[in-house]
């Protein structure tokens, strides 16, 4: 009987995977915010991990949290995996693959969930589009525009920098000089290798959880 149930669940999940479209830009930003908290919770072995996972799946499909809290844990992980894969941009751009050397360093004006407002503001200011229109944009198009905006800003700064005395360093002892270029953001230089998948510690799993239907790379340690 349990085997028949597992087969039925597998078929349903495949149908869900097939029928689930790629999210639009606004939902993508909101879900990436929750996913970032999930990854940090997994690394730090925080107790909030299950609640964050339920919040992500509930926001993705959407399914009420009280229903998700009663689902088998492996099914919840698969739903998370399905939508996470759907949320991956199809076009790889340096903005997404660059090494973030500022991780852990926050500006004094930063706040939790700021990325959504920052990207919406950036696109709206440049193109004059409203929030509703930007939220409904294709992920790849929106992120490509964000990179172009950041690139234009950097090139403008470099031009102004080249006009200043700081752009050139002169050594009076050797009577020679060299250029002192303005540092570029990471996406215009360093590129990361493929992100490694992190397994979830068993200590964070609910009692009685089974993982037969969970892909090997997502199963807990």
Residue-wise pLDDT for 18-38, tens only, equals 778 899 999 999 999 999 999
Position 72 scores a pLDDT of 87
CB 162, CB 152: distance < 8 Å? no
Tokens linked to 18: 């097939």
Average pLDDT for residues 136-156, to the nearest whole number?
Answer: 96
Position 43 scores a pLDDT of 87
Average pLDDT for residues 107-114, to the nearest whole number?
Answer: 85
For residue 44, which of 208, 206, 198, 217 has the smallest C-alpha distance?
198
For residue 199, which of 8, 39, 20 has the smallest C-alpha distance?
39
Position 220 scores a pLDDT of 60
Tell me if the pTM is above 0.85.
no
Burial (Cβ within 10 Å: 0-12, 13-18, ≥19) of residue 94: middle
Position 115 scores a pLDDT of 92
User: Quick one: how far is CA 211 from the chain centroid?
Assistant: 25
Rg (CA), the chain: 22
For residue 42, which of 214, 208, 205 has the smallest C-alpha distance?
205
Q: How far apart are CA 118 and CA 150, in angstroms?
A: 12
Position 197 scores a pLDDT of 60
Span of 69-78, 91-100, 208-217 with lowest mean pLDDT: 208-217
Average pLDDT for residues 76-92, to the nearest whole number?
Answer: 89
Q: How far apart are CA 40 and CA 100, in angstroms?
A: 15
Tokens linked to 114: 């700021």
Percent above pLDDT 90 for the chain: 38
Residues 6+ apart with CB under 8 A from 55: 34, 65
Average pLDDT for residues 120-145, to the nearest whole number?
Answer: 96
């Amino acid at each position: 009987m349990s085997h028949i149930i597992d087969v039925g669940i597998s078929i349903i999940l495949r149908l869900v995977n097939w029928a689930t479209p790629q999210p639009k830009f606004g939902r993508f930003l909101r879900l990436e915010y929750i996913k970032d908290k999930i990854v940090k919770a997994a690394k730090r072995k925080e107790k909030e991990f299950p609640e964050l996972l339920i919040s992500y799946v509930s926001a993705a499909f959407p399914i009420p949290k009280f229903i998700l809290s009663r689902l088998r844990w492996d099914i919840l992980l698969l739903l998370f995996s399905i939508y996470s894969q759907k949320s991956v941009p199809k076009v790889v751009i340096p903005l997404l693959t660059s090494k973030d050397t500022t991780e852990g360093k926050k500006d004094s004006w930063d706040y939790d969930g700021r990325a959504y407002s920052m990207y919406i503001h950036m696109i709206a200011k440049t193109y004059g589009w409203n929030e509703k229109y930007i939220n409904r944009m294709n992920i790849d198009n929106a992120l490509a525009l964000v990179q172009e905006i950041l690139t234009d800003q950097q090139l403008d700064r470099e031009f102004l920098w080249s006009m200043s005395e700081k752009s050139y360093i002169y050594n009076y002892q050797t009577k020679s000089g060299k250029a002192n270029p303005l540092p570029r953001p990471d996406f215009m230089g360093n590129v990361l290798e493929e992100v490694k998948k992190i397994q979830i510690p068993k200590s964070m799993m609910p009692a009685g959880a089974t993982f037969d239907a969970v892909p090997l790379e997502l199963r807990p340690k």
